[in-house]
Amino acid sequence: MELYHKNNLDCSKITTHNYSTTFSLGLRVMNRTYSEGIYCLYGFLRYADEIVDTFFDQDQRLIFEEFRQETFKAIDRKFSINPIIDSFQMAVHKYKIDRELVEAFLLSMELDLTHDIYSAELLKTYIYGSAEVVGLMCLRVFYYNEPEKYEELKDPIRKLGMALQKVNFLRDASDDYKEKGRVYFKNIDFSNFTSETKKQLEDEIEQDFLDSMVGIRKLKKPVRLGVYLVYNYYMHLLKEIKKARPEDILNKRYRLTKTKKSVLLVNAYLKNTLNLL
């Protein structure tokens, strides 16, 4: 079984590296004691997201329900023949991840199969499950045997998840709105997206980032650099989005160049090493 589980962990690692350069870099600078748990989480989260965002020629609701059932069967059995789900259930047990967090995440993914327009209340549920919960799962990996520290850092880490998700909403607005017909931000009309509305959203996201930084500074050093690196990348991605005209948001997917990411990596390393965060 040891070889089986190692192989499944490798599948989650490959999935992370293939799908996200930003999170991959964050994990590569993180202590292996913690990064392996995050790989297990990310592979699972990505597969769930793929079902609702990619497989449009399939019966997505049926496939997602099968994925959900296999997830909870695996958690109960402590085993799955699906390598991604198996590595996830290992993380759930090892790091004491609450079942409520798993359920909230799966609910948020399912919402993308049933809703295109999100009300304020529904958006709150969606962001909690798709973003805040992800942060809390990662926090469990970092502090699974330190419950008091976990409780202390919950709120700022939830804020970080919110900020990352909202940046993703703006970055992916072209695909979400034009291709999938989805509108996540409450009371936003992308057919009449003004500079004032755009600035209001950006200010809201910046405040979430500021609130999250309180917790990032308190993270243990073996994980702080990786988390700060992701924070830093997304902060600079937001800066690029802020430069764009409102009409450009629906015509371009914003990203950082490899050179820019390399510069930010060095900057993050120095700040973390010298305790200048």
Q: Could you say which residues of the chain have pLDDT below 50?
A: none
List residues bridging with 183 in a β-sheet: 117
pTM exceeds 0.85, yes or no: yes
Residue 161 amino acid letter: G
Q: pLDDT tens for residues 150-168?
A: 999 999 999 999 999 999 9
Q: pLDDT tens for residues 230-260?
A: 999 999 999 999 999 988 888 888 888 889 9
User: How high is the pLDDT of residue 120?
Assistant: 81
Q: Does domain 2-273 have CATH number 1.10.600.10?
A: yes
Give the residue extent of every domain in the chain. 2-273
User: How high is the pLDDT of residue 187?
Assistant: 64
Contact 229, 190 (CB under 8 A): no
C-alpha of 68 from chain center: 19
